[in-house]
Chains A and B, each alone.
Chain A
C-alpha cells in the first residue's frame, strides 16, 4: 500500500490509487487524485463527483450507470445524459475513474 502527500497530509492509497480510508476525502484530495489521472476538474466534472458522493453517502454503494447518466442529463442537459459524455469527462470511465476521484470504494466485483 502506498502513501501520497496532499496538503501536508499523508494519505493511504491502494495499488491503483484508490483511497484506503474513505474519510480522507476532501476537495483537495479530489483535485490531486484527478491530477494523477490527468483529468482537469471543470464544473461539469464536479457535478459527477458530487452526485456520486451524495449517492454513496445515502446508499453506501455507487449508483448504477443509468442512474448516473439520467441525473447528469437532468443537471447538465439531455445531450449530456449518456455514457459517451461521461467518458468524455472521465476517459477512465465513470465507475472507475470518477469513483476514484470521488473517493468511493474501488469497484471490486468482476463487473
Chain B
C-alpha cells in the first residue's frame, strides 16, 4: 500500500462531476488519488483536457513477452507536468462468462490492481473485458505475472480475437436457448492463441446471446453473433394464458401481442391463443410480454450470423444470417461450431486484406463467394429476398450454372501471388 499522498492538483472542472445523484467516476479517482500519485496526475491531465477540449494520450505498442495482445499502452503528452502518468497502460483481462464473480475473485483483481497499477478497474470494457488501468512499462509485467499466477489471463487488443462476451443465459434466464456461458468459455479456450498471438487480418469479436432479445448486444457489436433460438413450437401454458387475459383484458392482448407479431402468426380464438409456428420467426416478443404463459420451444439451438461491426470505414453493419439453425448441446455440436470458425478464419485469413473486418470482406467479395469459400450451401434464410438486378456474373458464361449444380472454387480477387502480397 502506498503512503498517504496529499492532493495538490486543483480540479475545478472535474469537481463539477462530483455533483448530482448518479455515482461519480471522479469521486472514485479522487479516493485513489489520496494514496496513488499516478491517479492524482491522471486527474490533473484530465482537468487540462476539460479546459482545452484536447486529449493528451499517445498510443504505443507494448506487450508482455509471448503475447501480441492484452496491453493498451499509452504515454502522456504532458509527461513533464504530470510525470506520474508518463506511462499509463491498461491491461485487458479476460472476464468470466456472463460477468459472474465470487468476491474472492474480485478481491484478487483488486489486489493486483492495487499492487501493480493505479487501483482503477473498469467493469467492464465495452468489449466485455476487465480493464485494469495504470501500469507502467515495468509494472505491466509484474501485473501480468501476478494475474497469470492466479489463473487469470489477458489478451485481445490489436488485430486479435477479442475477449468474448455473453448474456446471463441459462444461469438465470428462462429464455436461454443454449448454454451461452459454456460456449463462450470453449471458444475462448480453444482459440486462446488468437487472443495472444493473432494471425488474422484484423480484430474479430464474438458475442453470445441466449435468445433474440440479444442482451449481449451481439447483432451489431460483434463479427459473429451467436443467438439462441428453437425450431419446434412455442410452449404455451393455456392456464397462464387465461390468467393473463383475465388480468389484462382481451384488448391488451390484441394490441400488444397479436398485432405486434412480425409475421402475424398469433390468433386469439375464444380467449385462447393459437400460434402458427411454421411462420414464427422466433423474435421473442410474445414470450417477453406473456413470459409466464409462453416459452421458447424444446428443440433449441442457435442462429449464427456474421459481419457486424461499428462505424469505421464502410459504416455500421449488422451481422447477417450464416447458419439459420444449428443444435448447440453436445460435444459434437460444439466441435461443429469450432470447425465453422476455423473455416471462416481460414478463408478470410487467406483472402482478407489487412484491416478488413470479416463484414467488409463479405461486402467486397459477395456473400455467395464467401459461402463457397467456407463451404456452406446458400439458403434463402440468408437474404431478405433474392437479388433484384440482372447483372449476374455466372461463373461459366458459356454454360450458366443451374441451381443445385456443383459449384466451382471461389472467385475471390486474390491479391496473393506465391505468398507475396501486392500493397
Q: Say whether B197 contacts A66, CB under 8 Å.
A: no
Q: Do B197 and A87 have beta carbons less than 8 Å apart?
A: yes
For residue A22, give the distance in angstroms from its CB to the closest CB of chain B: 17
State how many angstroms separate the Cβ of A90 from the closest Cβ of chain B.
9
CA distance A16 to B71 in the complex (A): 15
Q: Which residues of B from 22 to 64 have beta carbons under 8 Å from A? A: 59-63
B377 at the interface (CB under 8 A from A): no
A57 to B354, CA, bound (A): 18
Q: Once A and B bind, how many residue pairs between them come within 8 Å at the CB atom?
A: 69
A67 neighbours in B (Cβ, 8 Å): 419-421
Chain A contacts of B67 at CB under 8 A?
A: 87, 93
**Does B128 belong to the interface (CB within 8 Å)?**
no
For residue B213, CB closer than 8 A to chain A, the reply is no
Contact B199 A59 (CB under 8 A): no
Query: B423 an interface residue at 8 Å Cβ cutoff?
Result: yes
Determine whether A78 belongs to the interface, using a CB cutoff of 8 Å to chain B: no
Cβ-based interface call for B159 (8 A): yes
In the bound complex, residues from chain B placing their C-beta under 8 Å from that of A86 are 197
In the complex, residue of chain A having the shortest beta-carbon distance to the beta carbon of B72: A110
Cα separation A110 to B71 with both chains bound (whole Å): 11
The segment from A3-11, A28-36, A40-48, A68-76 that touches chain B is A68-76
Q: Which residues of B contact A16 (CB under 8 A)?
A: 60-62
Measured between beta carbons, the chain A residues less than 8 angstroms from B355 are 109, 111
- Whether A69 contacts B199 by the Cβ 8 Å rule is yes
Q: Is B75 an interface residue (CB 8 A)?
A: yes
Q: Does A13 contact B (CB under 8 A)?
A: no
Bound form: Cα–Cα A29–B202 in Å = 31
- Which residues of B sit under 8 angstroms from A74, Cβ to Cβ? 419
Tell me if B220 is interfacial: C-beta within 8 Å of chain A.
no
B158 CB contacts on chain A under 8 angstroms: 95, 110-111
Residues of A within 8 A of B (CB-CB), count: 31
Q: How large is the interface on B (under 10, 10 to 19, 20 to 34, 35 or more residues)?
A: 20 to 34
- Docked Cα-Cα span, A29 to B230, in Å, equals 62
Give every chain A residue within 8 A of B354 (Cβ-Cβ).
64
CB distance from A69 to the nearest CB of B (A): 6
Given contact pairs A93-B68, A106-B60, A108-B59, A64 touches B419 in the complex (Cβ within 8 A):
no
Cβ–Cβ < 8 Å partners of A82 in chain B:
199
On whether the beta carbons of A63 and B197 are closer than 8 Å, the reply is no
* B170 interface contact, C-beta 8 A: no
| Distance A106 CA – B201 CA, assembled complex (angstroms) | 18
Instruction: Using CB atoms, name the residue of chain A closest to B86.
Output: A15
Q: Which of chain B's residues have a CB closer than 8 A to the CB of A92? A: 63, 65
A83 & B198 in contact (Cβ 8 Å cutoff): yes
Additional A-B contact list (14), CB under 8 Å, known A64-B201, A83-B193, A95-B61: A15-B75, A16-B60, A59-B421, A59-B422, A65-B159, A66-B199, A83-B198, A86-B197, A87-B66, A93-B67, A106-B60, A107-B61, A110-B158, A111-B203
A-B pairs with lowest CB-CB distance, top 9: A91-B65, A83-B197, A59-B423, A65-B199, A111-B159, A93-B68, A111-B158, A96-B61, A70-B419
